[in-house]
Amino acid sequence: MIVLGVESSCDETGLALYDTQRGLLAHALYSQVAMHEQYGGVVPELASRDHIRRAIPLLQQVLVESGIDRHDIDAIAYTQGPGLAGALLVGASVACGLGLALDKPMLGVHHLEGHLLSPLLASDPPEFPFVSLLVSGGHTQLMRVDGVGQYTLLGETLDDAAGEAFDKSAKLLGLGYPGGPAISRLAEFGDPSAYQLPRPMLHSKNLDFSFSGLKTAVLTLVKNHPANICEQDKANIARCFVDALVDVLVAKCLSALKHTGLKRLVIAGGVGANQQLRSALNAAAVKRRFRVYYPELEFCTDNGAMIAFAGAMRLQIKPEAAQRDYAFNV
């Protein structure tokens, strides 16, 4: 079965073809980051308009790269949500139009399920069951995953998501958008002992998170500096912020593994690309004897491959999930 995946929930247009026999055939991505950068964040209407411009050229690209004729596509999976409403409507409309034109069924996929299953696209994928840490711009969740569609929420953020904390703190430091990679790079030059930042909910008895206090701590540090804050001070704040956030994420993962008795930890979502987080988790895995799995770097942030894959997995266990009435919800 060959499934076309269409992702358009935020500022990335992603299309991909996944074959349940041969694996990922092709994927193509257009990032709108350069367009939104000048506004310091995603402008929803511009995002929707750009998805319209990119979707069909990207489809043509994956068809050429895979050598697949469009009539050989068996089903079309699109991101149903959560995401920006206008942006989601573009992906759903593209999927609906293609489905109708090619006489193929379509299927809405939950964006977070796409992220959650993305590590299974790697060459050495984890077996079920596992604990998953989903850390994206909009969500931070710990989940027990027993199989496709078998998810138990263990804990989640009570306020900001980890990626949101990265982006907002980076903005406070004047690092632009998206802030995650920028603050992470700057942190490499910072002094970890320069400031003592809070580790919110580190010792709480549950597996929930809270990151808004950490962001406020960064705001207070920035305010306490003169307007022309020097590069080294910025790097020190960045370093202390990243260390605090990573400490909390790692500690909660360890608690989740202990709570479930599982020995496999899977990381998903944009913040999963963070090198400081990866180093800390790798060190903990050696010490505590568990295995940690990551998606390929290009599949940490939003992409069409994870939607094609999640759609294919869904259809394998529940073929009737594919629908031909060409009505959609976002």
Applying CB under 6 A, which residues contact ligand KG4? 10, 115, 136-138, 163, 166-167, 178-181, 184, 269-271, 273-274, 301-302
176 among the known binding-site residues? no
Locate 99 and state its tokens: 């489905």
Beta carbons within 8 Å of 44's beta carbon, 6+ residues apart:
84, 85, 86, 87
Nearer to Zn ion, 208 or 302 (CB): 302
Closest distance to ligand KG4 from the beta carbon of 205 (Å): 27
Nearer to ligand KG4, 99 or 180 (CB): 180
CA 149/CA 146 separation, integer angstroms: 8
Beta bridge partners of 6: 15, 78
| Residue 178 binding result from Zn ion, ligand KG4, none, given CB thresholds of 5 to 8 Å by partner type | ligand KG4
Q: Distance from CA of residue 170 to its chain's centroid?
A: 18
261 among the known binding-site residues? no
Stretch that binds Zn ion, among 131-139, 140-148, 179-187, 205-213 (CB under 5 A): 131-139
Interface mask toward Zn ion for 278-317; x: CB under 5 A: ------------------------x---------------
CA 249/CA 255 separation, integer angstroms: 10
115 among the known binding-site residues? yes
Residue count (the chain): 330
Locate 181 and state its tokens: 């990679």
How distant, in Å, are the alpha carbons of 132, 182, 236, 259 from that of 278? Answer: 14, 16, 20, 22
**Residue 167 in contact with Zn ion, rule: CB under 5 A:** no
How distant, in Å, are the alpha carbons of 6, 30, 35, 84, 143 from that of 45? Answer: 19, 17, 12, 9, 33
**Residue 132 in contact with Zn ion, rule: CB under 5 A:** no
114 among the known binding-site residues? no
How many chain residues touch Zn ion (CB under 5 A)? Answer: 2
Nearer to ligand KG4, 185 or 225 (CB): 185
Closest distance to Zn ion from the beta carbon of 115 (Å): 5
CA 81/CA 194 separation, integer angstroms: 41
Nearer to ligand KG4, 283 or 317 (CB): 283
Nearer to Zn ion, 136 or 255 (CB): 136
* CB neighbour burial string for 223-246, b if at least 16 within 10 angstroms, e if fewer: eeeeeeeeeebbbbbbbbbbbbbb
Nearer to ligand KG4, 108 or 163 (CB): 163
| Residue 132 binding result from Zn ion, ligand KG4, none, given CB thresholds of 5 to 8 Å by partner type | none
Q: Classify residue 130 by its DSSP letter.
A: E
Annotated binding site for substrate: 134-138, 167, 180, 274
Annotated binding site: 111, 115, 134-138, 167, 180, 274, 302
Which residue ranges make up the site for Zn ion (CB under 5 A)? Answer: 136, 302
